[in-house]
Amino acid sequence: MILLNIIISTIIVSLISLIGIIFLIISKDIFEKLLFFLISLAAGALIGGSLLHLMPHSLEKIEPLSSFWIFILGFVSFFLLERILRWRHCHEFDCPIHPVTYLSLIGDSIHNFIDGVVIASSFLINFHFGIITTLIVLAHELPQELSDYAILIYGGMGKIKALIFNFITGLTSFIGGIAGYFFLRSENLILYILPFVAGNFFYISASDLIPELHNETNLKKSINSFLYFISGILLISFLKLISKNNI
């Protein structure tokens, strides 16, 4: 029964990755106008998710210096990976699929996998705890997956291709749930992975998304993008507050 609950919960969480389907019915002009603000929201959500959601969980149990070194390792690893991707796939400025796309897919896959492990661990404690944890994961995955879809589009993917790849990364929640039930019941392992993923997300936001926002010269759009950026941070902060009050 516990395994069935884990399977159902992680499948529901995985399906959230299909939220980008709503943009398939929106006209190209409207979508392109929204994309810039979605990138702003994504940049804020990744910063907030990194420093307000993932790092605090790690710092509760891990010695701070160790946690921050792992964070740096996550940041540096994505810096190195992006350099390799640019060298191998982006000669001069001819790069139809930008490296940030691959970085986002890798980072989101690890994050979703951890969510699946967390859900499995919660159901192993008791059913009520598992349901609450699943709801909290759904709450923070909704804006996260919307942001991830926007990043894939920004990185050069078409709408349908981005939707498919985002769904594939979403399925890692299901894989994480199964792995969590059978193999990865160690909380310590998850706690050491969290700051690594935090470093990944922080790099994507600071290195790829925020610089893109600086390219906008229109004052009104710049102000609006900044407000969306702050909204992304505040949204994660709000979800973090909800999770703290319910668990």
Distance CA 230, CA 241 (A): 16
What pLDDT, on a 0 to 100 scale, did the predictor assign at position 229? 92
Distance CA 217, CA 26 (A): 26
C-beta atoms surrounding 165 within 10 Å = 20
Confidence of residue 17 (pLDDT cuts 50, 70, 90): confident
Distance set, CA 25 to CA 28, 107, 119, 150, 177 (Å): 9, 28, 33, 15, 32
State the average pLDDT over residues 218-225: 86
Q: Tell me the pLDDT tens digit for each residue of 125-138.
A: 678 767 866 876 77
Confidence of residue 120 (pLDDT cuts 50, 70, 90): confident
Q: Tell me the pLDDT tens digit for each residue of 65-93.
A: 999 999 999 899 888 877 776 654 454 44
Distance CA 110, CA 99 (A): 17
* C-alpha dihedral (64, 69, 73, 74), degrees to nearest 10: 10
Confidence of residue 118 (pLDDT cuts 50, 70, 90): confident
Strand runs (DSSP E) across 31-151, as ranges? none
State the average pLDDT over residues 111-118: 83
Which range among 35-39, 52-56, 149-153 shows the weakest confidence by mean pLDDT?
A: 35-39
Residue 241 pLDDT greater than 80, yes or no: no
Distance set, CA 4 to CA 1, 73, 125 (Å): 5, 36, 15
3-state class of 216 per DSSP? coil
- Start-to-end CA distance of the chain, whole Å, equals 22
